[in-house]
Amino acid sequence: MTAPIQKDNRVHIIQGEYYVADNKDVMVTTILGSCVAACIRDPLAGVGGINHFLLPGTPGRTKAGEAERMGVHLMELLVNGLLKRGARRDRLEGKLFGGARTVRGHNDIGRHNVEFAERFLRDEGIAHIGGSTGGLHGRRIQYWPVSGRARQILLASTVEVERPAIAPAPAVVSNAGELELF
């Protein structure tokens, strides 16, 4: 997992990352399409965190190197990170964001991500107190983990597409005149 980008009291996380904070001035941001971010906190302990996952994942069935992008892995890391900072499981509350339908077709990945996250909160006894999921627009999320305040900005440029075509890798000619394929 890469380290989140931090500047002053702003932290930006990307797919496969999570962040836990107990500093009331920290704001965490992320940009979501079909991915989901879970914002979970313990209001009495003054600690909270956020994650950003690509797919739900299946316990014990995720390939090596893929686990860090999966919800099943990142939800556990986030909850354990909160508990290590003094949170109590019975006081946790969560908000869910993301899960947009960004690709038209028979498999709505965003909906599957949201269903997984809602089921995880329910199964773990974490109160689901809000958020914003689904729809056709991506979102930029700003989250203050200690207070639980969240701000969402819908991205107007999200476009639902048919299944994206896989373009062939571009050929690049190096300075020496050799051909490199990526």
Task: Give the CATH number of domain 5-181.
Answer: 3.30.1330.200
Helix/strand/coil (H, E, C) string of 12-79?
ECCCCCEEEECCCCCEEEEEECCCEEEEEEECCCCEEEEECECECCCCCCCCCCCHHHEHHHHHHHHH
User: Helix (H, G, I), strand (E, B), or coil: what is residue 8?
Assistant: coil
Model confidence band, residue 106 (pLDDT cutoffs 50, 70, 90): low
CB atoms closer than 10 angstroms to residue 25:
10
| pLDDT for 8 | 78
Largest Cα–Cα separation, the chain: 64
Q: What is the pLDDT of residues 12-45, one digit of tens each?
A: 999 999 999 999 999 999 999 999 999 999 999 9
Measured CA to CA, the distance from residue 45 to residue 161 in angstroms comes to: 43
Helix (H) or strand (E) holding 127: strand 127-133
| pLDDT for 3 | 60
> Contact, 151 vs 39, CB < 8 A?
no
Higher pLDDT, 126 or 56: 126
Segment 85-110 shows an average pLDDT of 91
Q: Would residue 35 show up in a list of annotated catalytic residues for this protein?
A: yes
CB atoms closer than 10 angstroms to residue 124:
14
| pLDDT for 170 | 45
Angstrom CA distances, 123 to 12, 75, 118, 163, stand at 28, 12, 9, 33
Measured CA to CA, the distance from residue 155 to residue 161 in angstroms comes to: 15
Segment 164-178 shows an average pLDDT of 44
Q: Where do the structural domains in the chain lie, given as residue ranges?
A: 5-181
20: nearest Cα among 52, 44, 48, 53: 48
Q: Out of 21, 35, 36, 92, pick the active-site residue.
A: 35
Q: What is the percent of the chain where pLDDT is above 90?
A: 63
Helix (H) or strand (E) holding 138: strand 138-144
| pLDDT for 44 | 98
Model confidence band, residue 2 (pLDDT cutoffs 50, 70, 90): low
Model confidence band, residue 182 (pLDDT cutoffs 50, 70, 90): very low
Of 104-108, 155-159, 173-177, least confident by mean pLDDT is 173-177
Q: What is the pLDDT of residues 16-25, one digit of tens each?
A: 999 999 999 9
